[in-house]
Structure 1
């Protein structure tokens, strides 16, 4: 029963990752990382397929082996977080304007302190 739950969670994560390929506000690689994590417990064959994929395999392996994030991904994430923080500061009233800024600082700080893949 647990294997089916892990398998189902992996399939949902893949679906969200695929949606993220079309929608710029939804991250793709974190959902594929989650899918690989779930499939490792529920369906190792699907985990192997994700790891063998030329698009998703390298960032997943880099994260698993060294907790590393690629330089381009870091730049894109930082720019996205910064843009969201600026939009929040302009469009939201206080104190809500601080929420995107705090999220950007915390998440951006985490991302920028990871080694380069």
Structure 2
């Protein structure tokens, strides 16, 4: 499973991506134990951040015996678990709804609702990983 990585040339961006990547790993691990928090999207975000910031951490994540399968299934084109899709879409729409309630700006509503709709369509178009 050899993937070519494009590391960022900007040192500050690499550090920011590393920070977001490790925060995503932390949230993904918490999501394994906390049913309200989705695991797959956070680990995919971590993999994307590490792919641009650290080859070492990227390979650590995708080769990890417990976390790696969550990422590899998606990267290999096998799909996203149904549970991951449901949690991702549900939490996203919950947070967008709360944000729309709190932010009383119609232009912000349009932006948030359009973004949420596009992300939902993207997630739904991804192959669903069959149960093992």
TM-score, normalised with respect to structure 2: 0.62
Summarize deviations over 1:35-86 as a string: whole Å, max 9, x none: 45237xx53x543321222342112211211162221111111101211232
Alignment-derived partner of residue 34 in structure 2: none
1 or 2, which has the higher helix percentage? Answer: 1
- Among residues 85, 89, 105, which one is paired with 2:117 in the alignment? 105
Matches for 1:59-98 after TM superposition, within 5 Å: 59-66=70-77, 68-95=79-106, 96-98=108-110
User: Are 1:38 and 2:45 matched, yes or no?
Assistant: no
Q: Distance in 1 between matches of 2:44 and 2:82?
A: 16
Judge which range, 99-108 or 52-61, deviates more: 52-61
Distance 1:80 1:37 in 2: 25
Cα shift readout 1:79-105 (whole Å, capped 9, x = no counterpart): 012112322333322412232221211
Q: What is the RMSD of the two structures over their aligned residues, measured on CA atoms?
A: 3.4
Q: Is the 8 A contact 1:74 1:112 kept in 2?
A: yes
**TM-score normalized by structure 1?**
0.68
Partner Cα separation in structure 2 for residue 98 and residue 4 of structure 1: 32
**Which residue in the other structure is 1:14 paired with?**
21
Rounded to whole Å, the distance in 1 between the matches of 2:103 and 2:7 is 44
Q: How many residues align?
A: 112
